[in-house]
Chains A and B, each alone.
Chain A
């Protein structure tokens, strides 16, 4: 039978934006720190992006979509826990939360993955996002600055501090990362 063709706008959106769903979910998952909230954020962000698709100039679909995911996440974080976004990292307090590894036991990849994810999740949200965008998604400083909406200089210093903290956390498990 005959099927109505999809709206050209939707097809174009699916072509430009949906390939970045993994990156979107990854960022949302690290910011929200649980599956369900991350899924909600991505779905909401996709709808928002679709509504504002006309404002997208076709330059960098991945960065454009992730900036919407990022903003949607922070809005949700503010609603969920009014203070979460600005928790000052306290090394003494946070470092103990890492699940202790059995010394001398070879860690398989699943354990490595779990450990690194847990370490990133201990960072404050502003550090989680720069680590995710740089170390996991490989965005340039300029792109990160655009996504987060702050100057490149701020991204540089934020990234340096985020890495120092991540190093501190991970060095307890992986001395070679120190």
Chain B
């Protein structure tokens, strides 16, 4: 395909500027040999560039500008060092926000997980009273109850009779809580049965009893000696609390 005069004329500027590919350059050169008008344009363009270049019109940065710029940059470098890089501020802010969100999320999930366990604890308690399945081993003797668990679970719960404090041990059984087999100890307080569920704690920090009330039942939970305790009863909160304190001694 060969270009006509009009099309070639469009190429004179890029031709003079050396911006054409080899093929277009050849084509333009060929056309220039036969077209006086385009040759005139080329000459004028080269003349213009020469006139401009010869007069050296470019400005040079004054030396004080160079000094001022360097000084300003050094100030800027110092302040950004001392204070904050905007990206760093942004990143820190984002990290903080994430942390807060994460903590909130963790708290929420922990709270809802706790809520699930509390409901399970109460359900277990109620079921143990409905059926004749309050205890698997019926004894107020802690030396009978404690060995009964041996070989049935992989931890050794602290089993004590608290008769002298008004909380006689009724017995023990195995139960199921939060997907795990747990120890259930049954105590009694003036005809109010108390179920105590014991499982190995995931965190090894002791914590003081924490009470929630659901459907008329008080549920207390605490950690003691690497064990997690859940005590549930229709007993009033103050007495259940006292029970928990005695048990945790």
CB of A135 within 8 A of CB of B52, answer yes
State the 10 A-B residue pairs at the shortest beta-carbon distance, nearest first. A25-B61, A112-B55, A116-B55, A29-B59, A10-B77, A116-B57, A21-B61, A136-B58, A26-B59, A177-B51
Q: Which B residues lie within 8 Å of A50 (CB)?
A: 73, 76-77
CB of B53 within 8 A of CB of A14, answer no
Q: How far is the CB of B59 from chain A (nearest CB, A)?
A: 4
- What are 12 pairs between A and B in contact, CB < 8 Å? A18-B70, A22-B58, A22-B59, A26-B59, A42-B61, A42-B65, A46-B72, A47-B73, A137-B58, A163-B13, A167-B44, A176-B47
CB of B55 within 8 A of CB of A109, answer yes
CB of A140 within 8 A of CB of B77, answer no
CB of B59 within 8 A of CB of A46, answer no
B49 at the interface (CB under 8 A from A): yes
Give Cα distance in the complex from A115 to B51, angstroms. 11
Given A135-B53, A167-B44, is A21 in contact with B69 using a C-beta cutoff of 8 Å?
A: yes
CB of A116 within 8 A of CB of B52, answer yes
Interface size class of A (residues with CB under 8 A): 35 or more
A105 at the interface (CB under 8 A from B): no
Give Cα distance in the complex from A56 to B56, angstroms. 31
B62 at the interface (CB under 8 A from A): yes
Q: Which B residues lie within 8 Å of A42 (CB)?
A: 61, 65, 69
CB of B19 within 8 A of CB of A140, answer yes
How many Cβ-Cβ contacts under 8 Å join chain A to chain B?
110
B147 at the interface (CB under 8 A from A): no
A94 at the interface (CB under 8 A from B): no
Residues of B within 8 A of A (CB): 13-14, 17, 19, 44-45, 47-49, 51-62, 65-66, 68-70, 72-74, 76-77, 80-81, 86-87
CB of A43 within 8 A of CB of B55, answer no
CB of B65 within 8 A of CB of A25, answer yes
Q: Which B residues lie within 8 Å of A167 (CB)?
A: 44, 48
- Which residue of B is nearest A159, CB measured? B13
CB of A51 within 8 A of CB of B76, answer yes
Q: Which A residues lie within 8 Å of B87 (CB)?
A: 54
Q: How far is the CB of A44 from chain B (nearest CB, A)?
A: 9
CB of B73 within 8 A of CB of A14, answer yes
Given A50-B77, A163-B13, is A136 in contact with B72 using a C-beta cutoff of 8 Å?
A: no
Q: Which A residues lie within 8 Å of B58 (CB)?
A: 22, 26, 136-137
Give Cα distance in the complex from A10 to B76, angstroms. 9
Q: How far is the CB of B164 from chain A (nearest CB, A)?
A: 74
A25-B60, A39-B68, A170-B51 known; 19 new pairs, CB 8 Å cut-off, are A6-B74, A6-B77, A7-B81, A18-B66, A39-B65, A42-B61, A43-B65, A43-B72, A47-B73, A50-B76, A51-B80, A109-B56, A113-B56, A116-B52, A120-B52, A141-B14, A159-B13, A166-B48, A176-B47
Give Cα distance in the complex from A136 to B59, angstroms. 10
Q: Which A residues lie within 8 Å of B72 (CB)?
A: 43, 46-47
- Which residue of A is nearest B71, CB measured? A43
Give Cα distance in the complex from A160 to B9, angstroms. 11
- Please encode chain A, from 135 to 178, with 1 for each CB lying within 8 Å of some chain B CB and 0 for all others: 11100110000000000000010011001001100100010111
Given A18-B69, A21-B65, A25-B65, is A113 in contact with B57 using a C-beta cutoff of 8 Å?
A: yes
CB of A30 within 8 A of CB of B17, answer no
Give Cα distance in the complex from A160 to B44, angstroms. 12
Q: Which B residues lie within 8 Å of A136 (CB)?
A: 52, 57-58
